[in-house]
Structure 1
Amino acid sequence: MPTAIIADDERLMRDQLVLRLQQVWPELEIVAQAKNGEEAIEMVKLHQPDFAFLDIRMPGKTGLEAAQAIAGLTHIVFITAYDQYAVEAFEHGAIDYVLKPADVDRLSLTVDRLKKRIAQTPNDMSSLIAQLSRQITQKPNYLQWIQASIGSELRLFPVEEILFFQSDEKYTRVQTKTVEALIRKPVRELVEELDPNLFWQIHRSTLVNAKAIDGVIRDMRGRHLVQIKGLTEKLEVSRSYVHLFKQM
């Protein structure tokens, strides 16, 4: 039976990829899972799998750094949430990739490639991996997905679907067009992790998706309020951020 390890620091992503792989390649045995690059290297050396699915961005050693350490020992498949810029780099190379979150149809194409490679000796692609690393790190690694709780359920949201984030003392509210969820990460941390061209900070406790802004009004008290498309709720703009809307 073909074997593989999966390395991703997000448990939800690991679970989802395992489930999708079971659907499209039931013969593949996942012999181990890792939460970071160091563990991935250890698992490859211990289990000698046919394939290593590595998330590009992990704490400690990244997937790219782990790949350089195990190049030639196993066939490498990168798990990536990166944009088309990075995907094109993979398409022109000899390395396979899986987009996050794993889509069954797209994953089937990757599996077809992997089945053809299983009988081949893994190539030492250290130079190619180093080249990919340089290309990808040229662009900031902004968050692409948010894991948030709705009651006892943990859900995964693409950041583009989130209308705004709003923090209180304990939680941060994650609002989409249809649902409200909660995370523990405060706005001050999200500011550093989200694309500033997409999410504007309008208050010390509020980040809003610029594409979701329907307009800005002033109330009787002179406050600036942001209107959100599809919602009746309005978000207050503090004086420090009013300049963002001077041209609107």
Structure 2
Amino acid sequence: MPTAIIADDERLMRDQLKSRLEQVWPELEILDEAKNGEEAVALVETHKPDLAFLDIRMPVKTGLEAAKEIGNKAHIVFITAYDQYAIQAFDHGAVDYVLKPADVERLTRTVERLKARLTAQSQPNDMSSMLSQLAKQMGIAAKPNYLQWIQASIGQELRLIPVEEILFFQSDEKYTRVQTATYEALIRKPVRDLADELDPALFWQIHRSTLVNAKAISGVVRDLRGRHLVQIKGLTEKLEVSRSFVHLFKQM
């Protein structure tokens, strides 16, 4: 008996697809349902279904992001509300799709293709490059894999620091200082490299040698020399803002 999971952030859409599938493919067993891409990935790991029906746009992880993580662990079927022009992207790749709302006639054709694949015992496709093309064509930007942890030295100890706990990074010629609310550590990676690897919505570059956690900023002041200085929550230390980055604080 073929098995599947369904992932869609709209419960009514999940129910509707499940009902249509029961009509056109009564042998298919729906093992579980997810309301976002992250849950879908977890369900595939848990249940190891033959098929994963994934909505394209979901919170936490999109269907495209979930499909990339699922890889060849299941055959991917995208659920989408896109028009026929956008659907051409699927037609050029070995991916199946269901248009919202699920139409019995169209769903029947999709089911026939899926049955043929399962009967042939073909391996799910490695879709990494194709998923990137789909994301580009459909205007769904893939989320960059920003750094989540920093490995830093504190004396003789090596520590993993969650990036959200870091107040700021500040580089000199040799090291970069990693400052948290309770301690500081050192790494060898310069700010210019960190700027490309950290989420720009969280870490703002205020100087060629300084990145600051936007959530840690308590205010901006000007000194007697006219320089803009960032105040950090919980610290007396102030960080200089170079002229190139003053525009970040015009509305503050």
Could you say what secondary structure the match of 2:123 adopts? coil
Total equivalences in the alignment: 139
1:11-26 to 2 correspondence within 5 Å?
11-26=11-26
State the partner residue of 2:107: 107
Unaligned runs of 5+ in 2: 142-252
Distance 1:38 1:138 in 2: 17
What are the Cα deviations for residues 33-74 of structure 1, in whole angstroms up to 9, with x where unaligned? 000000000000111100000000011100011011111111
1:130 is aligned to 2:132: yes
Contact 2:94 2:125 in 1 (8 A): no
State the partner residue of 1:10: 10
1:78-227 to 2 correspondence within 5 Å?
78-118=78-118, 119-137=121-139
Contact 1:68 1:130 in 2 (8 A): no
| Deviation of 1:123 (Å) | 1.7
One-letter amino acid of the structure 2 residue matched with residue 18 of structure 1: K
| Deviation of 1:138 (Å) | 6.7
Q: Structure 1 residues 138, 36: closer, same or farther in 2, change over 3 A?
A: closer
Unaligned runs of 5+ in 1: 140-248
| Deviation of 1:121 (Å) | 1.4
State the partner residue of 1:46: 46
State the partner residue of 1:180: none
Distance 1:130 1:74 in 2: 18
One-letter amino acid of the structure 2 residue matched with residue 26 of structure 1: P
Could you say what secondary structure the match of 1:120 adopts? coil
Distance 1:116 1:17 in 2: 20
Could you say what secondary structure the match of 1:124 adopts? coil
Q: Structure 1 residues 43, 85: closer, same or farther in 2, change over 3 A?
A: same
Contact 1:51 1:76 in 2 (8 A): yes
Distance 2:88 2:125 in 1: 20
Could you say what secondary structure the match of 1:71 adopts? helix
What are the Cα deviations for residues 135-173 of structure 1, in whole angstroms up to 9, with x where unaligned? 11179xxxxxxxxxxxxxxxxxxxxxxxxxxxxxxxxxx
| Deviation of 1:85 (Å) | 2.2
Q: Structure 1 residues 56, 49: closer, same or farther in 2, change over 3 A?
A: same
Could you say what secondary structure the match of 2:33 adopts? strand
1:53-92 to 2 correspondence within 5 Å?
53-92=53-92
Q: TM-score, normalised by structure 2?
A: 0.54
% same residue: 70
